Amino acid sequence: MHKHIVEVQGHRGARGLAPENTLAGFEVALDVGVDSIETDAHLSREGTPVLIHDPHIDGRHVRAMSLDELRSRAIPTLADFFTLVAAHAQGERARRLIFDIELKRVPFEPATIGDDFDGVEPGILERAIVETILKAGVVERTRVRSFDHRAVLAAKKLEPRLTTGLLIHNTLPVDIAALLEQARADIYCPDFHFLDARAVQQVIDAGKRVIPYTVNEPSDWQRLIAWGVHGICTDYPDRLVKWLAESA
């Protein structure tokens, strides 16, 4: 973290301020002073990691579209993201930015990725992501997260130095610590509506971190920070940065 009492994470760049998962949006997030940027990764037809949330565009699988087609729609690659941050005018702040990459696996739609991943061995998505991270030399600053917890474990097996996170939606597990242990994950990333003080303490007691999503209201920031979360993912990182400064 730079100066904040909790990590300020821009959701899909700065979704409330600029088009999501775009280079322009990532620049806005950097300019307002985030500590980390969360973004979503699929693969192009060539197997290149590209940053887009949904698995389809106009009814077509992203995986079926060429890199040129995707670029024509202003969809950047993961490598583009790394390059942008390395060259950003914010300098030292940009050099400390944490990249938080969500692996967009859809288990019941294997065509969205192009393999029959069963969680035993890393699939083509995990291999492509880790290869791109290593090539950019940012493994120590990069996290990998997913709702498919098998993908998180697969990425960790490929590169043990990666920090990894488990995404959780519409549920609060009985034993969060066991869930994290099974996937060898470092961070618990729940929908903030399914989080309470006891759950946060479970994660802390396990020596792990909690970064909930997507939290846009000051009353929720205040409650979560009081419970002890380590970061907050928000569509409006500018507002969170300002609120933290005023609350200090």
Burial bucket for residue 104 (CB in 10 Å: 0-12, 13-18, 19+) = buried
pLDDT in tens, 40-70: 999 999 999 999 999 999 999 999 999 999 9
pLDDT in tens, 102-147: 999 877 777 678 788 888 789 999 999 999 999 999 999 999 999 9
Decide if pLDDT at 4 tops 70. Answer: no
What pLDDT sits at residue 106?
77
pLDDT in tens, 174-223: 999 999 999 999 999 999 999 999 999 999 999 999 999 999 999 999 99
**Widest pairwise Cα distance in the chain:** 50
The encoded tokens of residue 118 equal 């069963």
pLDDT band at 89 (very low <50, low <70, confident <90, very high): low
In whole angstroms, give the CA distance from residue 195 to residue 140: 28
The encoded tokens of residue 84 equal 């942008």
What pLDDT sits at residue 2?
46
- As a whole number, mean pLDDT of residues 96-104 equals 97
Cα end-to-end span (Å), the chain: 15
In whole angstroms, give the CA distance from residue 30 to residue 191: 24
Decide if pLDDT at 3 tops 70. Answer: no
| Residue keyed to tokens 């498919």 | 148
